[in-house]
Copies of this chain bind each other. A is one copy, B any other.
Amino acid sequence: MSNDFQEGYPEENLAILILSGGMDSTTLLYKIIDEGKKVRAISIDYGQKHSKELKMAAKTCEMLRVPHKVVDLSVLKDAGFFAKSSLTSEIEVPEGHYEEESMKSTVVPNRNMIMLSLAIGYAITHNAKSVYYGAHSGDHAIYPDCRPEFVQKMRDAAAVCHYYPVDIRAPFENYTKGDIVKEGIELGVNYSLTWTCYKGQDKACGKCGSCSERIEAFTENGVNDPIDYASNE
């Protein structure tokens, strides 16, 4: 076992995917499988109200026969790490569009760096060459840790964090949500097994920033969103 961390050759074709259970990372899962990657998925429970997304992630992985690990980090929420975010606290999730100032309450401090660092650790343990995540251009305005410059800096760090460089890949970096749905439809993504709404209710609210963006992405592509919305009742 002492040789396991020696400078060596990672498995080039093995990828770790950060799978939230939302549309972006689920589409990315289909995409990299289609490209011939061998995939292991990890999902992080950070105490999000919309933990339903984690169940969707599990269902998709079961269907596609992808090894999947849900890591329970809800202890972070209990330790007060995300006390100011409406996604994890008593603060109400705002309605409206991402562009609005109120949406800043949905920021979970440094969430993507935390997830990436864990996924990189997991990649090293499994001797995987790459980590994929679903950052896309629609997120930039509101979330600092979805911007291409952030992704690039994390890429640079991942290149020197171990004996071999770990590659961070965000193929949707310059995609809009509509572009993702377009590609997802071509790939045959089962969007009924994805969860987007930020509110922790039985049905998607149809009114939060996350729902609004999803609805627009489907409308833009002229296809039906297969999930039910509470706002349509």
Contacts and interface: CB of A to CB of B under 8 A. Distances in A.
Interface of A: 1-6, 69, 71-73, 75-76, 79-86, 91, 94, 101-102, 104-105, 107-114, 116-118, 120-122, 124-125, 144-145, 147, 149-150, 153-154, 156-157, 159-163
A82 to B, nearest CB: 7
Contacts of A4: 84, 104-105
- Residue from the set A79, A109, A112, A153 with the largest chain B CB neighbour count within 10 Å: A109
A73 B78 CA distance: 12
A168 to B, nearest CB: 11
22 contacts: A1-B86, A2-B105, A5-B85, A5-B104, A72-B75, A73-B73, A76-B118, A76-B121, A81-B125, A82-B125, A109-B121, A109-B162, A110-B120, A110-B121, A110-B161, A117-B117, A144-B162, A150-B157, A153-B159, A154-B157, A156-B156, A157-B157
A110 B162 contact: yes
A122 B81 contact: yes
Contacts of A104: 2-6
Given A1-B84, A73-B73, A105-B2, A144 B122 contact: no
A134 B2 CA distance: 26
Of A80, A82, A84, A85, chain B has the most CB atoms within 10 Å of the CB of A84
Contacts of A101: 2, 6
B5 A113 contact: no
A85 to B, nearest CB: 8
A121 B102 CA distance: 20
A213 to B, nearest CB: 19
Contacts of A157: 113, 150, 153-154, 156-157
Contacts of A3: 104
A69 B116 CA distance: 23
A114 B118 contact: yes
Contact of A114 (B2, B82, B83, B117): B117
Contacts of A161: 110, 112-113, 144-145, 150
